[in-house]
């Protein structure tokens, strides 16, 4: 099998380096320790929300690295990695597995989140983008407005938990892709 170009090889290596970095964040340590929860208690129209969520700094640090996988200006984003996997140097079986993984990612992000906004279901992708591009990594005017409205919701802790769960779902597919990248790098070295 032919060798990958240096730029393609570097994209796979960068993806794996950033995937490894995500596994070692405080956010993931918090989740692994089983401390994440939201409880809602109440009666007769009054309720109280008690939450145990990762702190904002842990989320900020996680998202700083996480964005490498979702922003197209990064050579190791899922979309740009598809170009690497379309090359003739990658075996058909591994290409197919990457295609399945990317489809799982897009299906997951396209699925409905657990809440509605103005009587419209919000996809996991839209929820993720509202948090990342409306608050954490950027301040896109439209997404910022939506995010600010979300945070006025009395169940905002539940919404934050859902965002954390979306991050974990995508992380699972990032790790799956990192294993594929390792196979590609091994097979073409």
Give the pLDDT confidence of 70-112 residue by residue, as tens digits. 999 999 999 999 999 998 889 999 999 999 999 999 999 999 9
Q: Is-contact 74 80, C-beta < 8 A?
A: yes
24 has a pLDDT exceeding 70: yes
Task: Round to whole Å and give the CA distance between 44 and 95.
Answer: 55
52 has a pLDDT exceeding 90: no
Q: Is-contact 161 35, C-beta < 8 A?
A: no
pTM: 0.87
pLDDT band at 50 (very low <50, low <70, confident <90, very high): low
- Label residue 48 exposed, middle or buried (CB < 10 Å: 0-12, 13-18, 19+): exposed
Residue 71, SS3 per DSSP: coil
Domain-wise residue ranges, the chain: 6-187
Q: What is the pLDDT of residues 158-178, one digit of tens each?
A: 888 889 999 999 999 999 999
What is the DSSP code (8-state) at residue 135? I
Q: Supply φ then ψ for residue 39, to 5 degrees.
A: -120, 135
């Amino acid at each position: 099998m032919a060798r990958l170009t240096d730029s393609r090889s570097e994209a796979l290596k960068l993806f794996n380096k950033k995937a490894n970095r995500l596994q070692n964040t405080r956010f993931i340590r918090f989740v692994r320790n089983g401390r994440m929860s939201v409880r809602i208690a109440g009666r007769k129209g009054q309720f109280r929300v008690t939450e145990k969520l990762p702190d904002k700094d842990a989320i900020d640090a996680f998202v700083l690295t996480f964005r490498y996988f979702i922003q197209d200006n990064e050579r190791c984003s899922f979309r740009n990695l598809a170009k690497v996997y379309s090359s003739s140097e990658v075996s058909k079986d591994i290409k197919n597995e990457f295609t399945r993984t990317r489809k799982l990612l897009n299906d997951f992000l396209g699925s409905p989140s657990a809440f509605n906004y103005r009587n419209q279901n919000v996809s996991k992708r839209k929820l993720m983008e509202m948090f990342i591009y409306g608050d954490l990594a950027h301040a896109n005017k439209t997404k910022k407005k939506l995010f600010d409205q979300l945070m006025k919701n009395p169940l905002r802790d539940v919404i934050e938990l859902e965002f954390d769960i979306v991050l974990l779902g995508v992380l699972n597919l990032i790790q799956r892709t990192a294993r594929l990248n390792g196979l590609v790098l091994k097979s073409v070295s």
